[in-house]
Chain A
Amino acid sequence: MASELLLRTDGLSLRYPGGTLALDELTVDVPRGSVGLVGANGAGKTTLLRLALGQLRPTAGTIEVVGRPVAEDPVGVRAHIGFMPEHDCLPPDQTAADVVATLGELAGLPPRAARQRASEVLDLVGLDEARFRPIGGFSTGMRQRTKLAQAIVADPEVVLLDEPTAGLDPIGREEMLALVGRLAGFGISALVATHLLDDVQRVCDQVVMIDGGKLRHTGATQALLHRTGAVRVQVDDGAARLADLLGVAGVDVTVVDDATLDVRVDGDEGRVLDLVRDGADDLGLALHALTTRRGSLDELFLDG
């Protein structure tokens, strides 16, 4: 049942018994690869992950994970999914090797294969030396890497990572992002739920942005970044006149001061730069500088 889609939802809604609407008619098709699921705290990210795992039943709508309708076999679909929760969830009195092997067995691997796989994936995440030590003595970074190892021990088609860099120092964060970035190369799609947009910008090729349970933006990361890029233009006094001219051409412009303006780049950057050049020429303004400023997902999120 191979599917090109990692996740497909159609009118997916979930209202908790207390009345909180966590997801509101979410309809999205997400291709395989590294996908960032971004949104503020309480946006509905974890709820969507739990719906994908079949641990919650939607109030309305449907959800498919790697082509498998979750409602038809909510338990069976988990055989194809690895999950890394946000919170601490590892028994401190057991070794990393034992925990990862145990969870491999629970995913259906034979005991011997589970131990072998545990050894391999712990090696992969950089815990080869520490795998026979009790987890209670691990740093936060080592715990996070153990959580990632247990998520991939059964070689799933997709892993759901809930805030994988939460609580990590800058070095630990770099290491975790590097590991997450390698997953696609292993043939494992990753859905990374996070509120840290910079993480997504660095390792994910697709973005699903939700807010208040509703879909805000979705698409390729690069395409979304282009939507928020800008060019800073420095001319002689007369930035306002150039802004008016560009505005007539349909370009979104913000005047910073008499000699500076920011021109929003929405898609075709070359066309915008041509318009700036021609406009300055038409008005007889000397063009001192054109500085391309790359956008960020934060801006996209804040712009709404």
Chain B
Amino acid sequence: MSVSLPRAGAVYDRGYRPYEGERGGRGASRAALVRLSVRRALGLRRSWKQKVLPWSLLAIAAIPAVVNVGIKYVTRNTPASDFELITFRDYVGVSTTLLLFVAITAPDMMCPDRRNRVLPLIFARPLTGNDYVLAKVGALTAILFGFSFLPQVVLFVGQMLVVEEGALDFVTENAEVLWQVPAAVALFSLYLASLALAISATTARRVVGGVALLATVFVSGTVATLLVRGGGEPQSFFESGNLWGLISVIDIPLRMSDLVFLGHVDPESLVGGAAGAGIGVVLVYVATVTGSLGYLVYRYRRVE
């Protein structure tokens, strides 16, 4: 019996094959832009060096939650079981450790496209400047939300599992947290993402964008502290020095967090302890976010 074997080593000229598969519309292009922005920010499909920073910061941001849960576990049957290293509201403040991540990621999402003149290629696809802005803001907001929210989940679930009174009682006692945490974290993430991307959009150089963001945060915070603490005890919000507390860029989302958790601004804060502080914080928050988004839309209204 003879067996005919296929000939090996044949060369085929495949030439050009038209694409006949699925095609998404404009929505698919928008979704792709968000996906690609998230991928870039998290270092996915990039070298390991690009992955170190985001994932290290996520781990660092989760440390207080893990420690708090550990303490709860160790002290669960002792008088010290009520000790709390950190509260859910305080944990929103821990998210400010992500500032370094944002200072690196936001310019990395915006500047290379302009510096390498990739924008004409992007806007030759079914995408507009508004799509571009929404995709970038959406991607960074989603990442910040995830990185801020996950440690809160660790804190909540960890405590739920180790507390003496049982999981159900813990959930019942902390039911409000279930909406307060995501709301506060979402407000924080949107604010920081909008501001960081707007600052990054002013330059084509990543390092300038990152330094500009950090300088804005630290200079505004330092100036606000000097002005407020030099103003004596607060009487009314506008007449005392508390008004200057509003210029501290990083304080605004934290005071919004106060409003979500407490219903009022923390009295110990720069703008706290005087009437009208809450309204002032909300106005500055809205102005910063809308101003940042407005600038981004203006900046990308036309392709260069």
A82 / chain B contacts, CB cutoff of 8 Å: 124
Q: Are B126 and A75 in contact (CB under 8 A)?
A: yes
Complex Cα distance, B122 from A182, in Å, reads 25
Which B217-260 residues have a C-beta within 8 angstroms of A?
none
> Could you say which of A90-98, A169-177, A266-274, A293-301 contacts chain B?
A90-98
Give chain B interface residues in 1-55, CB to chain A under 8 Å. Answer: 14-19, 21-26, 28-29, 32-33, 35-36, 45
Q: B120 on the interface (CB 8 Å rule)?
A: yes
Q: Which of A65-79 contact B (CB under 8 A)?
A: 75-76, 78-79
* CB of B215 closer than 8 Å to a CB of A: no
A131 to chain B, nearest CB (A): 14
Residues B124 and A81 in contact, CB atoms below 8 Å apart: yes
Docked Cα-Cα span, A184 to B155, in Å, equals: 62
In Å, the complex CA distance between A140 and B18 comes to 27
Q: Is the CB of A53 within 8 A of B17?
A: no
Q: Does A178 contact B (CB under 8 A)?
A: no
Chain A residues with Cβ below 8 Å from B123 are 53, 55
Determine how close the nearest CB of chain B comes to the CB of A253; give it in whole angstroms.
Answer: 48
The answer to whether A106 touches B29 (Cβ under 8 A) is yes
Interface size class of B (residues with CB under 8 A): 20 to 34
B125 touches A55 (CB 8 A): no
Contact B23 A109 (CB under 8 A): yes
Which residues of the other chain, B, contact A155 by a CB distance below 8 angstroms? Answer: 18-19
A98 CA to B47 CA in the complex, in Å?
13
Chain A 226-240 interface mask (CB, 8 Å, partner B; 1/0): 000000000000000
Which residues of A have CB within 8 Å of B127?
75, 78, 106
Q: A220 CB to closest chain B CB, in angstroms?
A: 25
CB contacts (< 8 Å) of A76 on chain B: these are 25-26, 126
Q: Which residues of B contact A93 (CB under 8 A)?
A: 112
Tell whether A108 pairs with B303 under 8 Å between CB atoms, given A85-B120, A87-B117, A113-B22: no
Residue of A with least CB distance to B303? A55
Q: How far is the CA of A107 from the CA of B126 in the complex (A)?
A: 7
State A187–B118 Cα separation when bound (angstroms).
27
**A150 at the B interface (CB under 8 A):** yes
Looking at B19, B24, B25, B120, the one whose CB has the most chain A CB atoms below 10 A away is B19
CA of A107 to CA of B45, assembled, Å:
20
Residue contact A90 to B120, C-beta cutoff 8 Å: no
8 tightest CB-CB pairs across the interface, nearest first?
Answer: A83-B124, A155-B19, A105-B32, A186-B16, A108-B24, A106-B125, A91-B116, A89-B117
In the complex, given contacts A53-B123, A82-B124, what are 11 additional A-B residue pairs having Cβ atoms less than 8 angstroms apart?
Answer: A75-B26, A85-B120, A87-B117, A87-B120, A89-B121, A98-B45, A105-B32, A106-B36, A108-B24, A117-B19, A186-B18
> Which B residues contact A (CB, under 8 angstroms)?
14-19, 21-26, 28-29, 32-33, 35-36, 45, 112, 116-118, 120-128, 302-303
- The residues of A with any CB-CB pair to B shorter than 8 Å are 53, 55, 75-76, 78-79, 81-83, 85, 87-93, 98, 102-103, 105-111, 113, 117, 120-121, 123-124, 150, 154-155, 182, 185-187
